[in-house]
Amino acid sequence: MKRRSFLKATLATGAASVAVSAGLLTPSTVLASWNKEAFEAKKVDAGLKALLGSADAADSADVKLTAPAIAENGAVTPVTVDASGMKGVESIVIVASDNPTPLVCEYKFSGAAQGFVSTRIRLGSTQQVVGIVKAGGKLYKAQQEVRVTIGGCGG
Amino acid sequence: MAINLRTRGSVKGGVAEIKSLIRHPMESGARMDQSTGKPFPMKLITNVEVVVAGKKVVDAQWSANVSANPYMHVNVAANSGDEVTISVVDNTGEKGSDTFNLR
C-alpha cells in the first residue's frame, strides 16, 4: 500500500471510530435495513406497494422533476425532484419506469430536511422518469420522458 | 478500506445545501465480465444517512439504478457552524462517513 493511501485510510477509520465513540453513529442506524423486495421488484407498482404501501399517486404541479430531455449517456442522468413548496414531505422516491428493476432510490426526510433531492441515475433506454412524493400520507408525482441516445448523435 | 466520500455544505438564507460525491462502483451483480463469462460480484451502497446538529434528517435507500460514483444533493434548514455527518454502508458491510461543519 502506498504511503498516501495508507495515511488516508488510517485517518478515515480514525474519524469513524471517534464518531462512534461520540454516539453519533450507533451501529443500528448504520446497519439500517434495505427493502430488498421493493428494490428488486420487476414492476413499478409492486415496488411502490412494497416501499410505500400504495402505488396510487396523483399528478401534482407542486412536484417539480428536472431531467434532461435527451441523455447522451444514460449511465449518468442528472435528476432533481423538488417538492420544497409542499408541506409535510415524508419521502421522495425516484422511479425509472423501464429499467429491469424500476425503483431507483428512496429518501426519507425528518426534522429540518426539505423535500428536495438531486442525484444521478442509470437509464437503460428511453423511458419515463417519475418522481413520487409522499406528503401527509398521500402520494403525488411528476414525470418526464428522457431519451437515451447511446453512441448516437442526439437526433 | 472505507468508502471515500467528499462532502460540502454551505448555508444560504437558513438552508444548507449539502452535496456529496462518493467513490463507489455501484455494481448491480448483473453485469457480465466479458473475459471470464461470470458476473461482477454485487457491490452496492444500500443505505445513506445525513445527520445535522445531532439529528437524523435524511435516511435514504439506494438501488443499482443509482450511477457509479454517486452524487447526492439534499437541502436542510440549518445554521452555519452546525455539524453534518454523512454515512454510507454497502451490501458487503463496507462503511464510510464524513463529518464537517457548515460554512
Q: What is the ipTM of this complex?
A: 0.92
Residue from B4, B6, B27, B63 whose CB has the most chain A CBs within 10 Å, to mutate: B63
Mean pLDDT across A76-83: 95
Q: Which residues contact A76 (CB under 8 A, 6 or more apart)?
A: A120, A122, B67, B68
pLDDT surpasses 60 at A65: yes
Q: Is B58 within 8 Å of B49 (Cβ atoms)?
A: yes
A7-27 average pLDDT score: 51
- How high is the pLDDT of residue A151? 56
CB contact under 8 A, B71 and A120: yes
What average pLDDT does this structure show over B24-35? 90
Asked if residue B103 has pLDDT above 70, the reply is: yes
The CB density around residue A151, as the number of other CB atoms within 10 Å, is: 6
- Give CA angle at A144 (A138, A145), nearest 5°: 140
Q: Note the pLDDT of residue A7.
A: 54
From the list B2, B68, B74, which residue is nearest A113 (CB)? B74
Please say whether the beta carbons of A85 and B50 come within 8 A.
Answer: no
Q: Return the higher-pLDDT residue of A15 and B88.
A: B88
pTM, entire model: 0.83
Inter-chain touch B67–A13, beta carbons under 8 Å: no
Pick the residue from chain B with its C-alpha nearest to A51: B61
Q: Are the C-beta atoms of B47 and B88 separated by less than 8 Å?
A: yes
Instruction: Specify the 3-state DSSP secondary structure of B78.
Output: coil
**Quick one: pLDDT band at residue A23, thresholds 50, 70, 90?**
very low
Kindly state the average pLDDT of the residues A21-37: 59
The Cα–Cα gap between A85 and A131 comes to: 15
| Chain A residues closer than 8 Å to B95 by CB | 16, 30
d(CA A120, CA A6): 30
Does residue A6 surpass a pLDDT of 80?
no
**Position A120 pLDDT exceeds 90:** yes
**Residue whose C-alpha is closest to residue A79's, from A92, A101, A94:** A94
Contacts of A75 in chain B (CB under 8 A): 67-68
